[in-house]
């Protein structure tokens, strides 16, 4: 497909790249992003692994069926030869959009995927003459305490240094990560909160709104060679407000059960000690640390001067709200996607 002229949301007009390679296409945001790119008329080629999806449930033919209007190639991102031969295949690609990320968040997986595999993709993209690399990252890397955040930051730094045009998108919380309690509340149980339920806040962003934002990075010059924190529409909301909204939608009085944050410290500490003897428990300790992080850190822009999270400094995009999504789930019109883990 030849390039075509598009007006970006910054008002700048640019010639859209025609052919886009998408990594992580089979994930939650990847699927929505493929659809957004196809809607905009791009020629989209998804690089997928041989067994894709949660628990490796998708064979290549299943992956291909997911993406109407896009094509699929089976590629091993850990192998530079496969990226060149099976992926870019000596053809012209204008941009890479990566929504790829470790499905477990464990340190080993994070360094292998969020960092090493991305370096492989970046190198292969440069060999293929790609001009623009759009990376889905996470807002939480602004306060890196966890292995997967360090792995993401290390790749962000390599991408910035590469000289390629980049757009690093750091979204706030996804709807699926804030929907884990819908069933328990519907079944009459209380909504679980840490502390008073107002320790943190976020501006939830829907899969489709984020996908539109990612796709428009290709044409909006205001998003070029920038790190882009981004949230969904409306005010920031706390876990307590999420619970209150759920109960209101169900027409029931709110009921909360508070869990002390210190409990997560005890679990993470205990698993870390056991993990020295039984390595899989060490990985579980990391998941408990991830849980603790999200129990205490907001998904909003962090003001480095004050060390405080700042809702008003967190940009918004899109139209879809978390509470509309809750309503759709309760009505049976939407289903929250469950990943390999439900921590982040
Ligand atoms: N959840 C949140 O609230 C939140 C908020 C902000 C940012 N984020 C960030 O958003 C990113 C993506 O999130 P998501 O929910 O869309 O992820 P996801 O559903 O877990 O999808 C991950 C994608 O990466 C691919 N991938 C993983 N390991 C791979 C491997 N070894 N080889 C090839 N592909 C591999 C997966 O492919 P397979 O289908 O083959 O496994 C899948 O397509 C993550 O970086 C996350 O940190 C999340």
Average pLDDT over residues 253-260: 95
Both tokens assigned to 279 = 């390595």
| Residue whose token pair is 């019109």 | 333
Q: How far is the CA of 256 from the centre of ligand 1 (A)?
A: 31
Shortest-distance atom of ligand 1 to CA 105: 47
Among the listed ranges 3-7, 26-30, 324-328, which one has the minimum average pLDDT value? 3-7
Tell me the pairing of strands 19-23 and 191-194.
unpaired
Shortest-distance atom of ligand 1 to CA 148: 47
Average pLDDT over residues 126-142: 97
298 lines ligand 1 (CB under 6 A): no
Residue of 36, 101, 169, 325 with the most ligand 1 atoms within 8 Å of its CB, for mutation: 101
pLDDT interval class at 262 (50, 70, 90): confident
Q: How many other β-carbons are positioned within 10 Å of the β-carbon of residue 46?
A: 28
What's the pLDDT at 15? 58
Encode the chain in three state secondary structure.
CCCEEEECCCCCEEEECCEEEEECCCCHHHHHHHHHHHHCCCEEEEEECCCECHHHCECHHHHHHHCCCCEEEECCCCCHHHHHHHHHCCCCCCEEEECCCCCCCCHHHHHHHHHHHHHHHHHHHHHCCCCEEEEECCHHHHCCCCHHHHHHHHHHHHHHHCCCEEEEEEECCEHHHHCCCHHHHHCCCCEEEECCCCCCCECCECHHHHHHHHHHCCCCHHHCCEEEEEECCCCCECHHHHHHHHHHHHCCCCCEEEECHHHHHHHHHHHHHHHCCCHHHHHHHHHHHHHHHHHHCCECEEECCCCEEEHHHCCECCCCCHHHHHHHHHHCCCCCCCCCCCCC
322-341 pLDDT tens trace: 999 999 999 999 998 866 54
State the Cα–Cα distance between residues 161 and 139, nearest whole angstrom. 20
Do 269 and 242 form a contact (C-beta atoms < 8 A)?
Answer: no
What's the pLDDT at 287? 81
State the Cα–Cα distance between residues 245 and 47, nearest whole angstrom. 39
210-245 pLDDT tens trace: 999 999 999 999 999 999 999 999 999 999 999 999
Indicate if the pLDDT at residue 304 is higher than 70: yes
Indicate if the pLDDT at residue 12 is higher than 80: no
What's the pLDDT at 222? 98
Indicate if the pLDDT at residue 120 is higher than 90: yes
pLDDT interval class at 5 (50, 70, 90): very low
Q: Which residues of 165-178 are buried (b: 16+ CB within 10 A; e: fewer)?
A: bbbbbbbbbbbbbb
106-119 pLDDT tens trace: 899 999 999 999 99
Mean pLDDT of the chain: 92
Among the listed ranges 16-20, 54-58, 195-199, 239-243, which one has the minimum average pLDDT value? 16-20
Sign of CA dihedral 152, 158, 159, 161: positive
Among the listed ranges 121-130, 237-246, 289-298, which one has the minimum average pLDDT value? 289-298
Indicate if the pLDDT at residue 194 is higher than 60: yes
Indicate if the pLDDT at residue 1 is higher than 60: no
Indicate if the pLDDT at residue 303 is higher than 60: yes
State the Cα–Cα distance between residues 299 and 230, nearest whole angstrom. 10
232 lines ligand 1 (CB under 6 A): no
Between 337 and 102, name the one with better pLDDT.
Answer: 102
Q: How far is the CA of 235 from the centre of ligand 1 (A)?
A: 26
State the Cα–Cα distance between residues 295 and 259, nearest whole angstrom. 10
Average pLDDT over residues 181-206: 96
């Amino acid at each position: 497909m030849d390039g075509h002229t598009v007006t970006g949301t910054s008002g700048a007009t640019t010639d859209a790249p025609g052919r886009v390679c998408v990594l992580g296409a089979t994930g939650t945001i990847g699927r929505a992003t493929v659809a957004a790119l196809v809607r905009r008329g791009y020629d989209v080629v998804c690089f997928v692994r041989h067994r894709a999806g949660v628990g490796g449930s998708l064979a290549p033919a299943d992956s291909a069926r997911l993406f109407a209007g896009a094509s699929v190639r089976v590629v091993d991102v850990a192998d530079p030869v496969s990226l060149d031969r099976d992926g870019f295949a000596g053809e012209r690609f204008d941009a890479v959009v990566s929504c790829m990320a470790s499905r477990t968040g464990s340190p080993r997986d994070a360094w292998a995927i969020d960092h090493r595999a991305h370096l492989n993709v970046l190198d292969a993209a440069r060999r293929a003459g790609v001009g623009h690399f759009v990376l889905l990252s996470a807002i939480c890397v602004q306060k890196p305490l966890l292995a997967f955040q360090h792995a993401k930051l290390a790749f962000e730094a390599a991408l910035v240094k590469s000289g390629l045009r980049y757009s690093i998108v750091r979204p706030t919380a996804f709807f699926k990560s804030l929907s884990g309690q819908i069933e328990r509340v519907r079944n009459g149980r209380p909504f679980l909160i840490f502390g008073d339920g107002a320790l943190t806040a976020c501006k939830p962003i829907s899969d489709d709104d984020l996908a539109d934002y990612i796709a428009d990075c290709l044409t909006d010059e205001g998003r070029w060679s920038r790190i882009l924190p981004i949230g969904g529409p409306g005010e920031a909301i706390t876990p307590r407000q999420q619970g209150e909204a759920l109960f209101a939608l169900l027409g029931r009085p709110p009921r909360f059960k508070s869990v002390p944050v210190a409990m997560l410290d005890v679990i993470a500490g205990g698993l870390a000690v056991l993990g020295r003897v039984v390595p899989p428990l060490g990985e579980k300790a990391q998941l408990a640390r991830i849980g603790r992080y999200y129990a205490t850190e907001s998904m909003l822009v962090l003001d480095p001067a004050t060390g405080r999270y700042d809702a008003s400094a967190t940009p918004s995009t899109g139209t879809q709200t978390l509470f509309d999504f809750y309503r759709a789930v309760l009505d049976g019109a939407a289903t929250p996607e469950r990943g390999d883990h439900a921590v982040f």
